[in-house]
Chain A
Amino acid sequence: MLELIFAVLLIAAFATLFIKSGRIAAIISLIASAMPLIAVMDWANDFGIKAFSFGVENSMDFSIAGITMHLSITSFAWFFAVMVFSLLPPIFLFSYSFFEKNNGFFPFMLFLITAVFGILLASDFLTLFFFWELMAASSFILVYISRDKKAIMSYLAFSVLSAVLILVGIALLYSQSGTLIFSDIVLNADKVTVSAIILMVAGFAVKSALMPLHAWAPFVYSKADEPFVAFLSGGLSKVGYYGMFFMLFALPGAKILHQYFNSGVATYLLAVIGAISAFIGTLLAFMEDDLRKLLAYSSIAQLGYIAVGFGIGSSLAMAGALFQAFNHAFFKSVLFLAAGAVAYRTGKWKISELGGVGYKMPFTFMAALFAIFALAAIPITSGFAAKWLLYEAAVSNKYIFITPIMLIAGVGAFLYSFRILYGVFLGENRHDDIKEAPLPMIAGMFLLVLPLIIFLIFPGYMLDMMHSALVDAGIGTISHTNYVIRTGTASYNTLAVVIGMMVVMIPAFLIYVLRKQKKVDFKDNFLAGEPYEFYGYISMHAANNFYKPIEDVIMPYLRKGAISFYTALYNAMGRVSDASRKIYTGLSQDYTIYIIIFFFIIVGWLIW
Chain B
Amino acid sequence: MVVEKIAVIALYTTIAMFVGILFMGVGRKIVARVHNRVGPPVYQGFIDIAKLLTKKTNISHGWIYDLALLFSMTGIMLTILFLPIGGVKLLSMEGDAFLVLYLLAIPALGFALGAGASGNPNAAIGVMRALVMMLSYELPFVITLIALMIYYDTSSIAQIVEMQHAKWAIMIPPFVLAAAVADMALQGMLMEAPFDIPTAPHEIASGPMAEFGGKHLGALMIYKAGTIVAYTTLFVDLFLGGGVVMHDGSVLAYLANFAVWFILIFLVFTLSLLINTSFPRFRIEQAFKFYWKYEALLAFISLIWVYLMVIS
Listed in ascending order, the chain A residues whose CB lies under 8 Å from chain B are 356, 358-359, 376-380, 384, 387-388, 391-392, 395-396, 398, 400, 403-404, 407-408, 410-412, 414-415, 417-418, 421-422, 426-429, 484, 489-493, 496-497, 500-501, 503-505, 507-509, 511-512, 514-515, 517-520, 522, 525-526, 542-543, 546-547, 549-550, 552-553
Q: Do the beta carbons of A493 and B94 come within 8 Å of each other? A: yes
- Shortest C-beta distance, B130 to chain A (Å), equals 9
Q: Are A519 and B13 in contact (CB under 8 A)?
A: no
Cβ–Cβ contact A517 & B135, under 8 A: no
A522 touches B119 (CB 8 A): yes
B288 sits at the interface (CB 8 A) = yes
Asked if B105 and A376 make an inter-chain contact with CB atoms under 8 angstroms apart, the answer reads yes
27 A-B pairs with C-beta separation under 8 A: A377-B102, A378-B102, A388-B98, A395-B149, A395-B155, A403-B142, A408-B135, A411-B138, A411-B142, A415-B135, A418-B112, A418-B127, A418-B131, A422-B124, A422-B127, A491-B94, A491-B96, A504-B74, A504-B81, A512-B70, A515-B56, A517-B59, A518-B59, A520-B61, A522-B61, A525-B61, A549-B283
In the complex the two chains form, is B285's CB within 8 Å of A550's CB? yes
In Å, the complex CA distance between A74 and B173 comes to 52
Cβ of A547 and Cβ of B132 under 8 Å apart? Answer: yes
Point out the residues of chain A lying under 8 angstroms from B53, CB to CB.
511
In the complex, what distance in Å separates the CA atom of A522 from the CA atom of B118? 7
Which chain B residues lie closer than 8 Å to A377 at the CB level? 102
User: Which residues from B are CB-within-8-Å of A546?
Assistant: 124, 128
Compute how far the CA of A276 lies from the CA of B127 in the bound complex, rounded to whole angstroms: 27
Asked if B284 and A490 sit within 8 Å, CB to CB, the answer is no
Give the docked Cα–Cα distance between A490 and B142 (Å): 17
A338, B177: Cα distance in complex, Å: 46
A-B pairs with lowest CB-CB distance, top 5: A522-B119, A493-B94, A496-B94, A490-B96, A517-B60
Known contacts A503-B6, A542-B125; A359 and B81 CB within 8 A of each other: no
State the CA gap A543–B128 with chains docked (Å): 10
Size band of the interface chain B makes with A? 35 or more
Give chain A residues whose Cβ lies under 8 Å from the Cβ of B215.
512
CB distance from A538 to the nearest CB of B (A): 13
B56 CB, nearest partner CB in chain A, Å = 7
B94 touches A552 (CB 8 A): no
CB of B60 within 8 A of CB of A542, answer: no
B307–A400 touching, CB < 8 Å: yes
Whole-angstrom distance from the CB of B210 to the nearest CB of chain A? 9
Q: Which residues of B contact A484 (CB under 8 A)?
A: 94
What's the minimum C-beta distance from B270 to chain A, rounded to whole angstroms? 28
Q: How far is the CA of A417 from the CA of B110 in the complex (A)?
A: 12
Min CB gap A388→B, angstroms: 5
The B contact surface, by secondary structure, is: helix
What 0/1 readout, one digit per residue, does chain B (288-308) give for beta carbons within 8 Å of chain A? 110000000000000110010
Task: Return the contact of B285 from the options A407, A493, A553 (Cβ within 8 A).
Answer: A553
Min CB–CB distance B261 → chain A (angstroms): 20
Q: Are B146 and A549 neighbours in the complex by a CB distance under 8 Å?
A: no
Closest Cβ of chain A to B311, distance in Å, is 8
CB < 8 Å neighbour of B57 from A376, A403, A408, A517: A517
B289 close to A553 (CB less than 8 A): yes
Q: A426-B113, A507-B10, A543-B124 are in contact. Are A407 and B94 (CB under 8 A)?
A: no
Residues in B with CB closer than 8 Å to A379 are: 99, 102-103, 106
Question: Which residues of chain B have C-beta atoms less than 8 A from A520's C-beta?
Answer: 59-61
Q: Do B146 and A395 touch (CB < 8 A)?
A: yes
Establish whether residues B124 and A542, one from each chain, have CB atoms under 8 Å apart when the complex forms: yes
Q: Which of B62, B153, B154 has the most CB atoms of chain A within a 10 A radius of its CB? A: B62
- Given A395-B149, A404-B139, A508-B73, decide whether A518 and B109 contact each other with a Cβ distance below 8 A: no
Assembled-state Cα–Cα distance A396/B155 (Å): 8
Could you tell me the distance between the alpha carbons of A397 and B124 in the complex, rounded to whole angstroms? 40
Nearest CB on B from A250, distance (A): 30
- Cα A497 to Cα B102 in complex, Å, equals 12
Cα(A400)–Cα(B9), bound, Å:
35
Name the B residues within 8 Å of A410 (CB-CB).
102
| Residues of A close to B14: CB separation below 8 A | 507
- Whether B134 sits at the interface, judged by CB under 8 Å, is yes
A427 touching B131 in the complex, CB below 8 Å, given contacts A379-B102, A404-B146, A497-B95? no
- Chain A residue nearest to B210 (CB atoms) is A526
Report B301 CB to chain A, min CB distance, Å: 12
Chain A positions within 8 Å of B56 at CB level: 515
Can you name the residue of chain B whose Cβ is closest to the Cβ of A390?
B98
Residues of chain B contacted by A417 (CB below 8 angstroms): 109
Q: B307 is contacted by which of A356, A384, A398, A512 (Cβ under 8 Å)? A: A398
Query: Restricting to B114-157, which residues have a CB under 8 Å from any CB of A?
Result: 116-122, 124-125, 127-129, 131-132, 134-135, 138-139, 142-143, 146, 149-150, 153-156
Contact flag A504-B13 (CB < 8 Å), given A404-B139, A407-B101, A414-B109: yes
Complex partner residue of B119 from A427, A490, A497, CB under 8 angstroms: A427
User: In the complex the two chains form, is A493's CB within 8 Å of B95's CB?
Assistant: yes
B138 closest partner in A (C-beta): A411
Complex CA distance for A427 and B118, rounded to whole angstroms:
7
Q: Give A403 to B117 CA distance when docked, in angstroms.
A: 34
State in angstroms the CA–CA spacing of A550 and B101 once bound together. 22
Quick check: A509 and B127 within 8 Å, CB to CB? no
Question: Among the listed A356, A396, A412, A491, which residue makes an inter-chain contact with B135, where contact means beta carbons less than 8 Å apart?
Answer: A412
